[in-house]
Structure 1
Amino acid sequence: MTGDQSPATDIHQLDDDTVARIAAGEVVERPASAVKELLENSLDADASSVDVTVEDGGAELIRVADDGAGMSEADLRAAVRQHTTSKIEGLEDLSSGVATLGFRGEALHTIGSVSRLTIESRPRNADGAGTKLVYEGGEVTSVEPAGCPAGTIVEVDDLFYNTPARRKFLKTTATEFAHVNRVVTRYALANPDVAVSLTHDGREVFATTGQGDLQAAVLSVYGREVASAMIPVDANGEDLPPGPLESVSGLVSHPETNRSSREYLATYVNGRAVTADAVREGIMGAYGTQLGGDRYPFVTLFLEVPGDAVDVNVHPRKREVRFDDDDAVRRQVDAAVESALLEHGLLRSRAPRGRSAPGEARLEPGGTQVDQPPADDPSTQETILNTDEAAPDVRSSSTADTSSTVADSSETSSETDARESAGSTAPSSQPSNSDESTARSLESHSTVDAGSDGSAASDTGSASDSPSANSRSGARSSTEPSTASLDSSRNREPGRKFDAGTEQRTLAGDVATVDETAFDSLPSLRVLGQYTDTYLVCETADGLVLIDQHAADERVNYERLKRAFADEPAAQALASPVDLELTAVEAEAFESYREALSRLGFYADRVDDRTVAVTTVPAVLEETLEPEQLRDVLASFVEGDRKTGAETVDALADEFLGDLACYPSITGNTSLTEGSVVDLLEALDDCENPYSCPHGRPVLVQFDQTEIEDRFERDYPGHQG
């Protein structure tokens, strides 16, 4: 081989058209992606009014018109070329923090490479005509003068017309529009000083006033009921614990105004609509137990942070951000939201955790109390405990929350006596030996609520054939902590790190020597107890099994519902119609899912654009659903991203059954009696598919003996046995 000869290779450079279409997939995933890019361009152009119009969920037409700065002919020609932008100069701008919503210089070029794109624009202060540019499949086909108002109008026709595979995998019109609505809503709330409107298939969905009033913007997109339930959050500087956030502001809803999905958690960092686990966890932590399981508030929250403390360039569509200290952000958001809720009297038994918060009682091993606030401090929310005193064995209900305030405790001495006669115990304030601690811990798990006559309530298996109904008769409230967990941490001998070894015991506190329960579908199981009052711990011949009690009961209820609804849904007519106000996206979804709802027993008539009158509701597992749950069902439909083919009425009805099965099911953090556990397992064993809940989550996780031994490295030489 001579020096000027090159070896043969199959590696070659792709042509520009192919590169453009591949790259478009990172920026334009669906119609909502194009709407987001165009809407951000309008806001960056200092528009005071932005009108978004879509047809067929955005697949046929997207039109974004603004009254912003506008562009000249030279600007338009440059704007559709790849990686051209007026918003950053180079890498140093990324490092110091991006001040604009868009900055990649890809939007118009990539949208135009997979659609027929038309742009009309005229600079705000220019005289004469504007410019019209047509860009199809990545090529400029015409540029000519056009009579148009100041600002910019972008039309996207036939999105993905030249990439049929991508167009084929678009979801239903309702689902695609839900994504469009989410994008426009997020930016409408983030910019209350801009008048933003959204129109779908010729019908105006919402329009904000642009008067700078966030509450008014919430009213436009969520309705009067939600807007009236929102309370302000405004914390900065000394109001916040140490961390990167400079301020936290916005609106959050009363705990009772909530939905079953995260659809309405709108969070922003430096004006950019983003998602961040630390922010969401901080919000939910602030509400604590005021929200039931899997319930979410309405939130419009703005976080301001120095540019060098957050990275916005971690996602192709800038959906996510990364903080340099997630834990500190979580604490700051929690403190800001909690303070607002406390100020409006919407939280119980918790103190603000900002820098100015009073100290909380803390117990050290051996009974030493530190950081105790003054006894006359009215803001103190924690019960002051002192284990140094030799106190008698104080007994109370096993369901008592030992961290609640004295003011919250309304139990009378007669009620306490009744619980004592039922055998209900709580941890003593004195240390006890490990055997007594273990017995008390196990006993607390099997305790059931006492009846009014002082006798313990029994497992009422005859009341209903639902395992969840059986379990509720002996269940502790899901908002209360496990007494067993308190026992295990407080009733050890002083100075001892570990308790003495104990025998395996059942939920009832008996030594676990009973035979395993045999099942047809499930493996033979011996129930040992509960872990965090959420998972059933069982022994098998080959190892251990953890069973998610909520997923298990959900599967049982789902299959019962399928049988009950196989012929005709059980429905209950209401004495008089109940009017429900819907959010903008729920109202739009109502028309799409109306047939599926009626198939299952929800009948409703539209009163106006945002209100429906519910006349009939499903009767589920001997319980009539509340009309308000129709909103939850719509919210879950909106949040879901249905697979291709899942838009049929039957598929939607089946999904609805899965959601309905969740409502009456045993929740996590619920203590169960041994009898109700066995009933649940027997009902689960009778299911066609006992191994997953209707939403696809696993019901049980099995650890075989080999895996357990491997984890403990029992095969290490000299360590067998």
Structure 2
Amino acid sequence: MTIQQLPDTLINQIAAGEVVERPASVVKELVENALDAGARRVDIDLEEGGIRLIRIRDDGDGIAPDELPLAVSRHATSKIASLDDLEAVSTLGFRGEALPSIASVSRFVLSSRREVDAHGASLQVDGGNVGAVAPKSHPRGTTVEVRDLFYNVPARRKFLRAERTELGHVEEWLRSLALARPDVELRVSHNGRPSRRYKGDRQLEFSDTSAGERLGETLGEEFAKHALRIDHTGAGLRLHGWIAQPVYSRASADQQYLYVNGRSIRDRSVAHAVKQAYADVLFHGRQPAYVLFLEVDPTRVDVNVHPAKHEVRFRDARLVHDFVYRTLQGALAQTRAGAGVAVSTGASHPAGADTGLDGSLPPWAMRAPQPDLSLRVDEARSAYAQLYSTPATALSQAQGGPEPMLPPVEDERIPPLGYAVAQLHGIYVLAETGDGLIVVDMHAAHERIGYEKLKSAHDGAGLRTQPLLVPQAVAVSEREADVAERESATLADLGFEISRTGPQSLLLRSVPALLAHGDTEALLRDVLADLREHGENTSAGADRILAARDELLSTMACHGAVRANRRLTIPEMNALLREMEATERSGQCNHGRPTWARFSLPEIDRWFLRGR
């Protein structure tokens, strides 16, 4: 066949295949254009899930009448004019392909008016055939009407799903937008009926305060209740937003929202960093929930890598990965048992706060040496006696009176997990707080305490290697051997001393000491696979080693933890509570299960219908 120039209509329809996947794609492109035009209110009217009609109305700057034909021309845009603009894109749209692509596969009407114009103007496009500009009465802003999507491309139309499904995709994208732009009012109607409204605060530009008000209405009150506030700056990056506490997890990744410079994107490197940060605290198979905003110099991120702008490319991908990981890991480390429970000076006067984000211990935390994994408390008994005693208690003991189970609370602050009062079925510790009851799974809690101690001890000693008595030959693929040779220094840092002995063979001379008795050959293959897949973007390989190490330490901690049906004394129970309050991640056991639960006094009153 001879080479020939494609007609404009076909060019536009090919481009539409990249930009327009379904009605939600159209809504995304048109609403982003409205936001780039300065809109503070956007109305989205849909019929049949957007298949029959999508109408987007905004109160933005508007378009000049003589520029309407340009707006539906390919590669015509007001957002970039030079290569420098492209390298530092700050708008949501910039390609100049959305409107012509949408107009080529629909019955399309574009109407607009600027503040300086006496009247508006309108332009019709039918399947890519552009009509003439005509005067039209119109308020300030722009209206885009898209009817009968894919009417002229039946092969594309048959891939659309049911009305409810397509509407769901639109609503999900709008939910994502609402989280990022709390300053914009969004009104949605479907088949002539109002279906959703996100109220915008026109006095506010983007801020975490205003965005926080939308957490409940977009992701539900449970997410808002369990959300941890994140805001960290460093290395020219800023990460802020919310992550859900581990006890609030999902079966799927349906509540994971990431924004880079305000643009909603998907990124494997950042997703891996989040998953790695949650690795120690999330139940197996569960997904974390988060709304995260990453701010980076626009010149350090390329947004021009995906037709629909769903992905970006970072200039310093490893730096971004490590920054996200360390920020979230630090925040999750503060999920100590008792976090969020007010410290109280008495049953009816809650006050105080929990551990600070800088890792400092609150006033009630024990700074004396803590009991070890076997919960021997003899050495710490005097310190705990001072903690629990008051002048009234000391006087009672001096007079030979019985020692009370709990001290008076008039002059003493009650820590978040309170004071132990009993043990239930040899499994749970019951503790009284200033405003309710705490129930602790003693094995799960002690397991986490032991695990964190073992990790700290191992991290402090560093990664030791153990030479093999007889070097082990390992058969690998040529690609794996290439990776091992290229990443030999990285492997040495991880405890593997390896030399290449042939195109498809390696000789293993030393392994990480802690894992020497496991299946080191299988571990090495997994590490090589990680280095091959993520070597340029993450601390791959090290993740695999740490995961294997942590699994072993977790098993050791589990065996060292107190077992069910072991009777603990009141001082031992209180020792456990104090260690939980001071131990990172103690809100969950090593497998992600919660270690404690709180029941407020009003909640308990409701059990017995008190006050009704």
Query: TM-score under structure 1 normalisation?
Result: 0.48
Paired residues of 2:245 and 2:335 also in contact (CA < 8 A): no
Pick aligned residue for 2:12 from 13, 20, 42: 20
Name the structure 1 match of 2:22: 30
Q: How far 1:223 moved relative to its partner?
A: 2.8
Provide the residue aligned with 1:115 in structure 2: 106
Find the partner of 1:296 among 273, 283, 287: 287
Query: Aligned match of 1:327 in 297, 309, 318?
Result: 318
Which one of 155, 162, 182 corresponds to residue 172 of structure 1? Answer: 162
Structure 2 counterparts to residues 404-483 of structure 1, below 5 A: 411-412=374-375
Alpha-carbon distance between aligned partners in 1 of 2:447 and 2:270, rounded to the nearest angstrom: 28
Is residue 228 from structure 1 mapped to residue 229 from structure 2 by the alignment? Answer: no
Per-residue CA distance 1:689-708 (angstroms, 9 max, x = gap): xxxxxxxxxxxxxxxxxxxx
Tell me, yes or no, if the aligned pair for 1:207 and 1:221 is still in contact at 8 Å: no
- Cα separation, partners in 2 of 1:279 and 1:155, compared to 1, 3 Å: same
| 1:630-684 deviation digits (Å, cap 9, x = unpaired) | xxxxxxxxxxxxxxxxxxxxxxxxxxxxxxxxxxxxxx9998xxxxxxxxxxxxx
Shift of 1:347: 10
* Number of the residue aligned with 1:499: 468
Structure 1 residues 495 and 117, CA, compared in 2 at 3 Å: closer, same or farther? closer
Cα deviation per residue 1:323-363 (whole Å; 9 max; x = unaligned)? 12222112212233344445564799xxxxxxx989xxxxx
The C-alpha deviation readout for 1:167-190, integer Å capped at 9, x for no partner, is 111233343333222321222111
Q: Indicate yes or no: 2:96 matched with 1:105.
A: yes
Q: Which amino acid aligns with 1:248?
A: L
Match of 2:37 among 45, 49, 52: 45
User: 2:183 corresponds to which residue?
Assistant: 193
- SS of the equivalent of 2:254 reads helix
State the distance in 2 between where 1:408 and 1:144 align: 83
CA contact (8 A) 1:265 1:300 kept: yes
Shift of 1:300: 1.7
Report the CA distance between 1:219 and its aligned residue: 2.3
The letter for the 2-side match of 1:154 is: V
Q: Give identity over the alignment, percent.
A: 38
CA shift, 1:192, in A, is 0.8
Q: Structure 1, residues 561-583: CA drift from partner, whole Å, max 9, x if none? A: xxxxxxxxxxxxxxxxxxxxxxx
Shift of 1:138: 0.7
Q: Is 2:61 aligned against 1:61?
A: no
Equivalent AA in structure 2 for residue 252 of structure 1:
I
Q: Secondary structure at the match of 2:139?
A: coil
Give 3-state SS (helix, strand or coil) of 1:124's partner: coil
Q: Distance in 1 between matches of 2:337 and 2:307?
A: 39
Choose from 251, 267, 270 the match for 2:261: 270
**Structure-1 separation of matches of 2:194 and 2:106:** 25
Q: What's the CA shift for 1:280?
A: 2.1
Corresponding residue for 1:568?
Answer: none
Taking structure 2 as the reference length, what is the TM-score of the superposition?
0.56
Unmatched runs of 5 consecutive residues or more in structure 1: 1-8, 349-355, 359-376, 380-404, 415-451, 454-475, 504-531, 547-667, 672-721
CA, structure 1 residues 481+228, in 2 after alignment: closer, same or farther (shift >3 Å)? closer
**CA 1:165 to 1:483, structure 2 compared with 1: closer, same or farther past 3 Å?**
farther
Partner Cα separation in structure 2 for residue 127 and residue 489 of structure 1: 72
Give 1:224's aligned amino acid: E
Q: Which residue identity is paired with 1:59?
A: I
Q: SS state of the match for residue 469, structure 2?
A: coil
Question: 1:331–1:15: structure 2 CA closer, same or farther, 3 Å change rule?
Answer: same
Residue number among 75, 79, 84 corresponding to 2:67 in the alignment: 75
Matched, 1:139 2:129: yes
SS in 1 for 2:131: strand
| Residue of structure 2 in register with 1:563 after alignment | none
* Equivalent position amino acid for 2:48 in 1: D
Q: Please state how far the C-alpha of 1:151 moved relative to its aligned partner.
A: 0.9
**Aligned CA distance change for structure 1 residues 206 and 41 (closer, same or farther; 3 Å):** same
Cα-to-partner distance string for 1:72-122 (whole Å, 9 max, x where unaligned): 211212101111100000222112x10111000011100000111112211
Shift in CA distance, 224/483, structure 1 to aligned 2, threshold 3 Å:
closer
* Aligned residue number for residue 240 of structure 2: 249
Quick one: distance in 2 between partners of 1:479 and 1:324? 40
Alignment deviations for residues 303-339 of structure 1 (CA, whole Å, 9 cap, x no partner): 1111221111111111111112222112212233344
The alpha-carbon distance between structure 1 residues 411 and 159, as it changes in their structure 2 partners (threshold 3 A), is farther
* Residue type of the alignment partner of 1:262: A
**Map of 1:84 onto structure 2:** 76
Instruction: Note if contact 1:80-1:109 (Cα within 8 Å) is conserved in structure 2.
Output: yes
Separation in 2 of the partners of 1:347 and 1:63?
50
Higher normalized contact order (CA 8 Å, seq sep 6+, divided by chain length): 2
Match of 1:219 in 2: 216
1:183 is paired with a residue of what secondary structure?
A: helix
Structure 2 unmatched ranges of 5 or more = 205-209, 340-356, 363-367, 378-424, 427-445, 473-513, 526-550, 556-612
Q: CA deviation at 1:199?
A: 3.2
How many pairs are equivalent? 395
For residue 409 of structure 1, report the CA deviation from its aligned partner: 6.4
The residue identity in structure 2 corresponding to 1:80 is V
User: For residue 112 of structure 1, what is the amino acid of its counterpart?
Assistant: A
